[in-house]
Every structure is written in C-alpha cells, then in structure tokens.
C-alpha cells in the first residue's frame, strides 16, 4: 500500500484556498452580505426537499448502484429528451457526487499524460488543477470583455498535434454569457477536424434568461460520440449542498467515465437521487417559474447598481452579473475593491481576476443575484453609499 503524501508535501502547498472560500469566510467573520459565493438564499423547492426526506425515512440508505439509481439515470435522459431533444439512454448517464466530481472523473478517465486540454478563460477555478492532476497540459484561450467572443483564429492557434480535449463551460461562469450558435458550430467543427473530445460543463443550462434556449454541444453534427455532457441537480433545483451531478456520454466513453467514478466517490446518497429523479419528472412549468424568479432578481440587482453609479455588464445566464469598475469611474483594481467593500460596505463579492490563470482583466467584479429581494436591496444600498463615498 502506498503511503499518503505528508501534509507538507509541495503538491498541497501549491493548492491555495479558493477565492470563494476566502471571501465567504470573511463574510462570515464580518457579518457582510455574501454576494460572492454562488448559492441561493432559500432552502430549495419544498416538494423536492420533502421527497428527499421521505426517501431517507422510507427507502434504502445502503449503497445504490455505482453508476446511479436507474430511476435517476432514466429521469436525466428523459429530461434532456424533453428540454434539449437529445436521444440519451439511461446507460449513457453516470450519476456523480456533484458536477465537480463529474469533471474530475472525466478528466482522469480521458486525459493521458502530456495531452493538451483546450480551455477558455476566464474559467471555473477547478479546471486547471484537475487537468494538471490528471497529467494534462492546460492550453488557455483568453476571451476579451465585454463581448467575450470566440474566434476561429484564436482557437486554431492554440491547437497543436498534442491537443486532445476541449473543456468548456456553457452557459459561462463567471461571465454570464451563453455561447452563440455560430460559436458552438465553430467548436463542433474544430472538434471534428482535429479529433478532439469535448467535455461540456453545462451546469447552468436551466438558468438561461430573456427567452434564450440552451443548446448543448453534444446535439450538434459530429459531436454525439465525442462529447461528455455534465449537469448538476444542485443548480437545477437550487440545492447546491446536495452535490448530485451526472455525466452523459456515448457507451464507449461512458464505460471509461464509470471506471474513474468508482474510485472517487463510488456512489451518491440514494435518498437525494430518488428526490432528484422525482423532481425531474415534474411538469415543466416550475422550471419556467424558477427561471423568471432569477431573471427578476438579476434585473433588480442590475437596476439598483446602475442607479448607484455602477456600470453593469449584461448577464444572459447563471446566478451572476459583473460590474465594470473602469467604466464606473472607479480607480481600484478588482481585488482592492472586493477587499474594501467587505470592510467598508459590508458586502462580499468576487474579483474576476481569480478566474484567469494569467494576464487577467483586473477591473471586473462578480456578484451573485440568487438572493431575496430584501438581501439584494440591502446590498444595493450599502454599495451605493460606498460608491458615493469614493466620489
């Protein structure tokens, strides 16, 4: 048996505490309103909570099957058939303990030492550490605000004979954009031309606003057998602490994914799986209502911040919007601004520079709007006073 790495090993020292945990800890310590870490303020839908409680008391609490309960695997496939016109079968769905575990399992299953993994920055902070732990080499294409456009020239310049995987997030955290149809078509074309596997982190697929549909890359021509689609019940049902996710892929890929998953968490609490399966079978109206609620919260925060003198970037998806400090006439970088508003305004936010591996934009700040009206109004009032004090 291999001895565990000692706590002082360089691999641990090289893994800093995430900016989300740092800012949330400071919010807890100071009593600041936490608009930094992305979680809703409410408990989640009552019916899905009740289903989880009932299953905990009346159904099995022992190990479910390693790939997940057949009820949930079937419910996920049916959900995507209804909402995204995908033809997944239950064996092509593997249930994981959250989407981050799905990302980890996918990368461990598919990345060979020395493989290059193409990513788009700004990006979710887990991507690069997970790629590197799998033995891969991150290749990052940096997008430019405020439009965050993909271009064929930039992507092709980053692809080499060693590039094997494309890892994308759509809808995109932290920018709040939804990839355009022509950009998805470009990505599909490049994947087919260069024989790339696409890993699609689509956890925000049900938080898309203003009538925009979510279009999964796996549904585009040539992508069905070369894509891993990752989803999250925590995001769909606003229960981020449940950590129930899944990865969907054609049988040849799904077999490899399951083998990696079995040596990570192995399985996921069965009562939560039964509850998510029940929730995914609800009439579709509840999703539209939830989406409308989040869109109203987005609009409330955006309007309040704009009235207070902040320049707000558009947000078409996720639970986040960003303010542009430079366009707001604020001569602070994003980290300094976030440090000061915790202490001086009592509000926590996230500097967007934390989502870049190099050469970051340092004038954008991300805020979470998945909060009650009362919390948003109080945060707006505090940030308005802070903006006024800056002059």
Boundary-marking domain end, from 252, 280, 308 = 280
What's the DSSP call for residue 16?
P
pLDDT attached to residue 42: 86
pLDDT attached to residue 18: 79
Cβ-contact 302, 321 below 8 angstroms? yes
Q: Is the pLDDT of residue 6 over 70?
A: no
For 222, the domain range is: 46-280
pLDDT attached to residue 10: 52
Q: Are 350 and 232 in a shared domain?
A: no
pLDDT band at 9 (very low <50, low <70, confident <90, very high): very low
- The DSSP element (H or E) to which 275 belongs, if any, is helix 270-280
Boundary-marking domain end, from 258, 280, 302 = 280
pLDDT attached to residue 170: 98
pLDDT band at 16 (very low <50, low <70, confident <90, very high): low
**Residues 156-206 pLDDT 10s:** 999 999 999 999 999 999 999 999 999 999 999 999 999 999 999 999 999
Residue at 139 is within a domain: yes
Question: Across all residues in the chain, what is the average pLDDT?
Answer: 94
pLDDT band at 4 (very low <50, low <70, confident <90, very high): very low
Average pLDDT over residues 2-30: 65
Residue at 243 is within a domain: yes
Q: Are 60 and 118 in a shared domain?
A: yes
Q: Are 201 and 325 in a shared domain?
A: no
Q: Is the pLDDT of residue 89 over 70?
A: yes
- Structural tokens at position 224: 């069905």
Q: Is the pLDDT of residue 332 over 90?
A: yes
Boundary-marking domain end, from 235, 250, 280 = 280
Q: Are 50 and 103 in a shared domain?
A: yes
Q: Are 113 and 226 in a shared domain?
A: yes
- Structural tokens at position 277: 């399966």
- Structural tokens at position 226: 């070369």
pLDDT attached to residue 28: 86
pLDDT band at 14 (very low <50, low <70, confident <90, very high): low
CA distances from 324 to 299, 305, 382, 386 (A): 16, 11, 18, 15
CA distances from 240 to 11, 112, 123 (A): 28, 31, 19
Average pLDDT over residues 223-250: 97
- Edge-first strand order for the sheet with 197-201 is 93-96, 245-248, 227-232, 197-201, 163-169, 116-121, 137-142
Q: Is the pLDDT of residue 149 over 50?
A: yes
User: Can you tell me the distance from the alpha carbon of 205 to that of 282, in angstroms, rounded to the nearest whole number?
Assistant: 17
Q: Are 210 and 327 in a shared domain?
A: no
Q: Are 239 and 361 in a shared domain?
A: no
Residue at 92 is within a domain: yes
What's the DSSP call for residue 279?
H
Q: Are 178 and 291 in a shared domain?
A: no
Q: Is the pLDDT of residue 2 over 60?
A: no
- Structural tokens at position 192: 């087919």
**Residues 274-328 pLDDT 10s:** 999 999 999 989 999 999 999 999 999 999 999 999 999 999 999 999 999 999 9
Given phi > 0 = left and psi -120 to 50 = alpha, else beta, which region is 195? Answer: left
Q: Are 85 and 182 in a shared domain?
A: yes
What percent of the chain is predicted at pLDDT more than 90? 89
Residue at 2 is within a domain: no
User: Can you tell me the distance from the alpha carbon of 231 to that of 237, in angstroms, rounded to the nearest whole number?
Assistant: 12
What's the DSSP call for residue 355?
G
Q: Residue 137's domain is classified under what CATH number?
A: 3.40.640.10
Average pLDDT over residues 238-246: 97
Residue at 3 is within a domain: no
Q: Are 173 and 291 in a shared domain?
A: no
Q: Are 33 and 138 in a shared domain?
A: no
Average pLDDT over residues 365-377: 97
Question: How many folded domains does the chain comprise?
Answer: 2
Q: Residue 331's domain is classified under what CATH number?
A: 3.90.1150.10
Residue at 331 is within a domain: yes
Residue-by-residue DSSP string for 170-232: SSPTTT-----HHHHHHHHHHHHHHTPEEEEE-TTTT-B-TTPPP--GGGSTT-TTSEEEEEE
Q: For residue 235, how many other CB atoms are within 10 A of its CB? A: 23
CA atoms within 13 A on the CB side of 186: 14
Residue at 183 is within a domain: yes
Average pLDDT over residues 104-129: 97
pLDDT attached to residue 206: 97
Residue at 5 is within a domain: no
**Residues 36-50 pLDDT 10s:** 988 999 889 999 999
pLDDT attached to residue 37: 86
Q: Are 171 and 126 in a shared domain?
A: yes
């Amino acid at each position: 048996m291999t001895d565990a790495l000692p706590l002082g090993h360089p691999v641990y020292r090289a893994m800093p505490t995430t900016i989300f945990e740092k800012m949330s800890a400071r919010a807890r310590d100071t009593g600041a309103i936490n608009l930094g870490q992305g979680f809703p303020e409410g408990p989640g839908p009552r019916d899905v909570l009740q289903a989880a409680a009932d299953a905990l008391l009346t159904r099995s609490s022992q190990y479910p099957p390693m790939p997940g309960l057949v009820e949930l695997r079937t419910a996920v496939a049916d959900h995507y058939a209804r909402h995204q016109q995908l033809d997944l079968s239950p064996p092509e769905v593997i249930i994981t303990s959250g989407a981050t575990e799905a990302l980890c399992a996918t990368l461990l299953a598919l990345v060979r030492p020395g493989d290059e993994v193409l990513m788009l920055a700004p990006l979710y902070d887990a991507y690069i550490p997970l790629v590197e732990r799998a033995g891969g080499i991150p290749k990052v294409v940096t997008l430019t605000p405020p439009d965050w456009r993909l271009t064929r020239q930039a992507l092709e310049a980053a692809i080499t004979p060693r590039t094997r995987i494309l890892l994308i997030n759509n809808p995109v955290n932290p920018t709040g954009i939804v990839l355009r149809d022509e950009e998805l078509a470009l990505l599909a074309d490049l994947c087919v031309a260069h024989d790339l596997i696409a890993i699609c982190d689509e956890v925000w697929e049900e938080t898309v606003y203003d009538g925009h549909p979510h279009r999964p890359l796996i549904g585009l021509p040539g992508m069905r057998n070369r894509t891993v689609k990752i989803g999250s019940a925590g995001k769909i049902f606003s229960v981020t602490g449940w950590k129930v996710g899944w990865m969907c892929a054609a049988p040849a890929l799904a077999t490899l994914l399951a083998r990696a998953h079995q040596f990570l968490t192995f399985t996921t609490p069965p009562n939560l799986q039964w509850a998510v399966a029940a929730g995914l079978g609800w009439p579709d109206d509840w999703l539209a209502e939830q989406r409308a609620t989040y869109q109203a919260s987005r609009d409330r925060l955006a309007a309040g911040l704009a009235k207070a003198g902040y320049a707000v970037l558009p947000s078409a998806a996720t639970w986040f919007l960003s303010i542009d400090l430079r366009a707001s006439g604020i001569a602070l970088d994003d980290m300094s601004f976030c440090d000061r508003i915790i202490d001086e305004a009592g509000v926590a936010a996230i500097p967007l520079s934390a989502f870049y591996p190099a050469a970051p934009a340092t004038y954008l700040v991300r805020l979470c709007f998945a909060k009650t009206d009362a919390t948003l109004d109080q945060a707006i009032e505090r940030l308005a006073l802070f903006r006024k004090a800056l002059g």
